[in-house]
Structure 1
Amino acid sequence: MQLRSRLAILPERSGERKVLLEQSAGLFGVSVATVYRALREQQRPKSVHRADRGSPRLLPRPELERYCEVIAAMKLRTLNQKGRHVSTARAIALLEEYGMDTPSGFVQLPKGLLAKSTVNHYLDAWGYDLERLTRQPPAVRFQAEHSNECWHFDLSPSDLKHLHKPPAWVEPGRGNPTLMLFSVVDDRSGVCFQEYRCVYGEDVEAALRFLFGAMSPKEATGVDFGGIPAMLYADNGPIARSRVFQNVLECLGIKLLTHMSAGSDGTRVTARAKGKVERPFRTVKEAHETLYHFHQPQSEAEANLWLQRYLMHYNDRPHRSEPHSRLEDWQRHLPSQGIRQMCSWERFCTFAREPERRKVGADARVTVEGVAYQVEPDLAGETVVLWWGLFDNELYVEKDEQRYGPYLPVDGPIPLHRYRKFKKTRTQERSERIATLATRLGLPRAALEGHAELAYLVEEAPAPQAVRALPFRDLDPYQEFNYPSALMAKRAIAQALGCPLAKLSEEERAFIDAVLGETLSKKEVLERVRRHLAHDPPGEAHAD
């Protein structure tokens, strides 16, 4: 207080003020800045507010708040993806000149009542500003309870972009394909499996090959990670929208879950959970691919070899929340019944079939990418759904929820001066029967003379580590291993024996019925029938 009183006596630009401050600082053993700070804090005035602080004095709060709500709604309604919206001044002018229809009635602002600064102040004070209105709700984290309960699938272009030596399958003049990183991450443990693939865009075939490798055992690398997951979480890209991709996952018993479309859940970002698969991408690109500045892989196989060595180190790193590694967490939290074992590559190829609606030609043939297939004669001229294999040459045909096939590629037309005729189909037999009936119909003479009435009765037709592994459950969607019915099995047996079953003895036919009553497996049925009839070839006892 004495120092402040002595300073108040001296003029503001007096040199004695500095000397007095230095003496006081030396007396108390502090710096001059500390003395200045103490004087400044004591001279700071105490803030005193009005009794109506925060309340508008221009209008009652309910009325002004209603105008602010309408203006905030106008800003939100006119907001586009680039963040542009109607300004406060323009919104006030529209309300003053034209007004606005609201659910509670028509609202029109008197001219000159509100200013832009006043509206902006209360928009911020009452929480009607655009930043708060568009703010996302709090994030909700989730984590699976068991390993292989959920996998995250995604792909990202490599920072290397292209290989120095393109693969041999690249067509001349098409350009180098993009070196893409395919990745799956276990939701529970964070264990990651990645591979390089040279692709043109998001290729479904490359994605299916990668998923087969991810789910198959990896004895060469010494990693136990694998098995069929219960659910696959992916984005809404071309791969997840592909029918063949969805069909393969359905045959494997995998539930496909994709993000909700943007804007379908208010202001919440629907792709927020993809950070679990994006984090390994960033780690690989920063810790592994940066070394490509010293040495670049010459081929896709070499790039994958280097990547697998790094992923072994990555999976041995600590878990995000547990006191052990990612791979150890995956092994500790396996399902009690074990992981589902992956099928063979040959069986996987039969699942990868793409549907396409086509019309069968008059010669009962369809052409897929220049390859001709001969189908059932009864399907000639019909519009069917083709299921052609993505990895093989077999073709299945679906008509009215009934599947035919498999069909293999056939040669071109038959040579000249040769004759070939298809067996009459049911459609042809039905047409001939109706044509014969039409020629034999007779109308009574009374129909022309008018002495009798005709009654048309139409009958309605009937409606048409040592990791426990479970064996692969084969649903057999295309009926390749089992006959669909006993009738189809008898037709196949007759074709295999080369004679109708009616020429067999009653004992042999009874044996066939007994076998079909036990099983419909193609392999077992044919083996047992041939073994039983080996001592007496069918048809010999009935030869003339």
Structure 2
Amino acid sequence: MKLGDYTRQEIFEALAGKRGRESLKLAKELAERFSVSVGHIYKITHGVRLNGRARRHDAGEKRIELAPEIDLFMEGLTVDADFSADHVLWVTSRHFGLPADFVSITTYNQWLREKHMSRNLLGKDLRPYRSFESPRANHMHHYDTTVAEAFYANDDGSIGHEPGYERYKNKPGNRRPRLVLYSLVDDFSRVIFARFYFSENTLNLLDFVFRAWSEKEDRSFPFFGIPNFLYCDQGAPRRSAKFLHAKEKLGFEIPDTTPSHATEFGPRKHGKVERTFGEGLLGEFMKITRIFRFAEIDEMNQCLYDWLIHTNNKKNRTTNEVRFARWVRSVGAPRSMPSEEMFKLLHYDRDERVVKGNLQIELNGRKYQLPYRKPFINWVGVKIEVYWYPGKDDTISVVYDHHEEEVRAMAPVVDLAMEYKKIAATDREKRLAELKGANYSAVNFPAMYAPEKDLPYLPKRGQEFDDKRISEKSRPDGRPSFTPEVYLDEVEAAFALKKAGFFDGDKAQREADRAWLKALFSGREKIPESELSTAIEALKTKQWEAEG
């Protein structure tokens, strides 16, 4: 039944400011009068009734005060050790000798929320920040990489996919090449360029920026050009001599920045490129491989390229513009150069060399001595890749088994005859030798692993209770130690006293027994049965001494 405006106004005025039983009584009367349900009356008067119980006079005030050192100790356990509230209160009560229930879990969690220090909020970056944005396209590009943990290379070159609860094929020890996603984002337009590689090194970085900054033959991907600034982490490829030479020749700057993992909530500084990972780019593209298997990495990159064209032709939620359209509108004349020239500037000469037993290689008439340490000592007899910048072969890069190192030209290490020098032991070898001589005679292992002797005997599942294995230890009142303590209220204690011969005398004696029992409780609701037994024995002993 639909209520009219006048009827609704009458109901509002009747229930305005009412709560509890008074509100319920009026609602029932109005419901019967207007032939509607009580629930309907409650629903339409939700805004005028006083809901819930009355507000406390001290609402919002802290009703439990702790010493500042206790507050600091508890908050430190939450912030520094990530202890749960239950764990924090237990440790604090033990450390400061407080009652186990000195503060409830609910109250402590409420304190943390009021200070914005709950475990949930500690995982969020609540600091204020300032956004920055480039004035035009190609002014700044953001670059970063991430390991595509869901992908791995099969023996036949195809790309496999594993769900998150497995990922055993991508563990470092199985020697399967792991796919790495390289991603570059234009700061102003949010245009994304990305590509998969089998490792993260300088050579792949150079190939990636060459493909990103070169003009594409496919006009459906208009993005190209060298930026004024490249915003990236301080990774090894970015610090390599090859990339620094390319930076000087191509004329772009790399602003100083700290790595994302070096500070708390570091990814915020690289948010525009970090958002291309996860569900933003890699997570969404990853879903394709759940139902489709790529034959090789080139096929996968081609599919990613086509998928990026689709993505960059969609509106960005922040700018409310299509990425490609915003880039074309603001880029002007992209700063670029012929692909052949850029390729020469970005790429080094390459050759292969076999490492000799003395860890030497020869290149362009010069000898290079590899250091006598890992991983170089494992390269004896293997063919490694060698890269160098044309005309500047004082520094070369050696690559083997997805590992890259820069090596400077140095004089070969030659030991004089009769002056043989042993190769210095590694830190690991020194540590192993030190551990072999460790002495553990002072450690009492039998006592360390011995079971606690105060624990009561409990039979194993399926076994009968063995009375012979009951602990002989007993309490002062003679009861076994494994027997739980029994607590009695005043009525139960009176019955126990009646059995012990109390309350059997004349009226004066009964009154004296009641007064003695009341004094024994002294305001407590319950007392231990052992305390009552001890008090009875003491009273009887006192009476016997008086009679004797």
What is the TM-score when the length of structure 2 is the normalising length?
0.48
What is the TM-score when the length of structure 1 is the normalising length?
0.48
